[in-house]
Chains A and B, each alone.
Chain A
Amino acid sequence: DIVMTQTPLSLSVTPGQPASISCKSSQSLLHSNGKTYLYWFLQKPGQSPQLLIYEVSSRFSGVPDRFSGSGSGTEFTLTVSRVEAEDVGVYYCMQGVQFPLTFGGGTNVEIK
């Protein structure tokens, strides 16, 4: 199984400031079709996970442009350019290049 490792485990951010979360995979997430299957989700308190970013850097429908994803191969980053109060929750990365699909352990983001 591909192991997904997220850092940090938790993050406390001042509103308006940037935040970054790292996700590293134990194997490359580059598929033979040229796509890299790395996803980012946010699970707000008491809610289902919601997709933010797919295939490393594409924002899902309705996701604010303050969220961006970058990376390649085995190292990826989610960046929130200016954190807002509604961005609190647990962020997860997930790989979709190989079964079983696997998730990172999550990064808990809170507002200072």
Chain B
Amino acid sequence: QVQLQESGPGLVKPSQTLSLTCTVSGDSISSGTYYWRWIRQPAGKGLEWIGHIYTSGTTNYNPSLKSRVTISIDTSKNQFSLNLSSVTAADTAVYYCARGSGYWGQGTLVTVSS
């Protein structure tokens, strides 16, 4: 059974970089042909795709965030990561990692505040 778990600081100061890691269990991140995704959801609002990294290392990002987003993969740790730079209060949200569309982490709340 594939499981994903997000981890990282729950509070980030404005203008700093938000960094989250998704640890995958029950599957090898380097096998198969999956998109490893980050999605976020502000409180009480809908879902926004941030971007993803393919098993090969190819990335695609949401143009609305592209200049600030980096997604990377660490096959040795079976993890992939999200960095979002120059954050503002508008980046406050629950952040989810997912394998394709079928398997999601439980989500982690990140608040941007001084």
Task: Tell me if B106 counts as interface (CB < 8 A to partner A).
Answer: yes
Proximity bits, A96-112, B CB within 8 Å = 1, else 0: 10011111111000000
Q: Which residues of B contact A51 (CB under 8 A)?
A: 101-102
CA separation between A100 and B49, bound complex, in Å? 7
Query: Which B residues between 58 and 114 are near A, CB-CB below 8 angstroms?
Result: 60-64, 96, 101-102, 104-107
What secondary structure prevails in chain B residues at the interface with A? loop
Task: Tell me if A33 counts as interface (CB < 8 A to partner B).
Answer: no
Q: Which residues of A contact B101 (CB under 8 A)?
A: 39, 41, 51, 54, 94, 96
Q: How many residues of A contact B (CB 8 A)?
A: 22
Residue in chain A with minimal CB distance to B49: A101
**Chain B residues close to A by CB (< 8 Å):** 46-49, 60-64, 96, 101-102, 104-107
**Chain A residues close to B by CB (< 8 Å):** 1, 39, 41, 47-51, 54, 60-61, 92, 94, 96, 99-106
What are 29 inter-chain pairs, A to B, with CB distance below 8 A?
Answer: A1-B63, A39-B101, A41-B47, A48-B104, A48-B105, A48-B106, A48-B107, A49-B47, A49-B96, A50-B104, A51-B101, A51-B102, A54-B102, A92-B47, A94-B101, A96-B101, A99-B62, A100-B49, A100-B60, A100-B61, A100-B62, A100-B63, A100-B64, A101-B49, A102-B49, A103-B46, A103-B48, A103-B49, A106-B46
